[in-house]
Amino acid sequence: MKNVAVVGSQWGDEGKGKIVDWLSGEADVVIRFQGGNNAGHTLVIDGVTYKLRLLPSGIVRKNKISVIGNGVVVDPWALLDEIEEIKSKGVDVNENNLILSESATLIMPYHREMDEIREDAAGNSKIGTTRRGIGPAYEDKVGRRSVRVMDLASEENLDNRLTSALSHHNLIRKGLDKPAFEKNQLKKDLLKIAPKILKYSKQVWKKIDEFKLQKKKILFEGAQGILLDVDHGTYPFVTSSNTVAASAATGSGCGPNSINYVLGITKAYTTRVGEGPFPTELKDEIGEHLGIVGKEFGTVTSRKRRCGWFDGVLVRQTIKISGIDGIALTKLDVLDELEEIKMCIGYEIDGNKIDYLPATLYDQLKIKPIYKTYKGWKSSTSGIKDFENLPNNAKIYIKELENFIEAKISSISTSPERKDTILLIDPFN
């Protein structure tokens, strides 16, 4: 029995939702361990589309336990809306199949406002956040002034926590010529929804220990991608949390020895939402083609994603940083119509060749990709479930990709449907 952590090996949007949903057929418990409702997973099951933001992908399956860990920042109103939305599609959500960490930090309305104020003020230097208050909420968490799920259980404690947070935020708002945020109405609004939130609240670290003793298979679900990690990504154009696999332990309340296999979800090309460096970006008809065929629009914001060739240098680097054991290759079918396909196998900066992403933004923006070109297969791979049935040129591309990134490909996704997956290695066994 293995427990598996799933992370994105690029800038997010790699298709984690489908893969986690597919894997959750074998898992007993699915745990979301970082991020917030700035990250979305789209699942297509029997023709029904589910768009999840905070809820773990396992929620759509019966007899599975879904957990939101302490590493997630939770907008309580957004969570309740999402629960109602998914219930309307016939999914049962109750306190037996959904657990929320009592230690999770809550996103407040003043966090969302601060996110918008900063982005609007940044002009051309904006990060490209989703304006949902994720960054400011994580700042309060580190600053030891956040309101957490457990604080909703006591009006006195909630009042104290809000006083602490707003003494900080209202000073900043005053300096930005914004009105002070009123505490009492916010406290009333929070107390109104408190019972609906608290009924899901438990000590997640204790529940994980119980699951392990019961020999349950646990699937740890990450959001975004490693290149958006606050330490290891394209800083400062990153998210506000650690998106690497090691965060699965910290963000849920268990030791790293609880994770036995790390699966990196990897798109057969590269995309990015928002601002920041993107060495293989294609601003031509091929990039447009990838975006249209791949339906590259953000689940949460509907923003158009930037598209480019597969960057083997970046993925090889994120594999090493996050300790990825195997790769789930997604969206292979998006490449079906191309005459030729390119893979980035190196970088050039000021005439010098390097084989890694430099840490400074200044150097990242100067990168010129070095490509290797492959013949396209010009035939449909959509729905194929056996590797041997893939076109020969597709098999060549996949094997070359696998060799370059120095990690085994465990599965290949050939459509958005959960059943259209080629399994090469079972992460749970």
Calculate the CA 237 to chain-centre distance.
15
41 included as an active-site residue: yes
- Is 232 a catalytic site residue? no
Task: Please give the Cα distance from 348 to 358 (Å, whole number).
Answer: 11
Q: Which parts of 69-148 are beta strand (E)?
A: 73-74, 98-101, 105-106
One-letter amino acid of 191: L
| Beta strands 218-221; 261-267: pairing state | unpaired
Judge whether 264 and 326 are in contact, CB under 8 Å.
yes
Peptide bond into 236 cis (omega under 30): yes
What is the C-alpha to C-alpha distance for residues 267 and 281, in angstroms, rounded to an integer?
Answer: 14
**Active-site position among 41, 111, 169, 232:** 41
Query: d(Cα 242, Cα 221) in Å, to the nearest integer?
Result: 13
105 CB neighbour count, 10 Å cutoff: 23
DSSP 227: G
Q: Residue 29 phi/psi, 5° resolution? A: -135, 135
Catalytic residues: 13, 41
